[in-house]
Structure 1
Amino acid sequence: WDAVKRVIDDLVIRSNLHTCDASRGCLDKDGICKARFPRELIPKTVFDEKDGRILMKKLESRIN
């Protein structure tokens, strides 16, 4: 499984890694990413009982 994990990690990084760049059109006039990257890191999936949101575990700030 180690080889499979390495291949999957490589594919995810190649296809889903977001890099902010003015030439790609993701930065607004103030230099802020329109796609909201980098994203907040969330160490574990939690349910917010106040508003009903599910905050999914997210360990990479630039992977969607």
Structure 2
Amino acid sequence: MTQFRLHPVERAFELAKTGIYRSRSEISRAMEKDGYTMADVNQLEGTSLTRQLNGLCREAQSRLTKTAA
């Protein structure tokens, strides 16, 4: 049986929205642990994508902080 796996960029955005990760680099490490290859993770290296992922991480963490308060 073939297991479906999200495209690396799609998975990175999904992880960023969880509020668990603080940055694109933390997301990259988590994806490597989940079995994504270095080639997959290297797709997240661009300046624009890094900025977007870091922003989503901050927003998600902010939401979690407000919810917990």
TM-score (ref. length: structure 1): 0.26
Bigger Rg, structure 1 or 2 = 1
Indicate the structure with greater strand content: 1
Indicate the structure with greater helix content: 2
Higher-RCO chain (CA-CA 8 Å, sequence separation at least 6) = 2
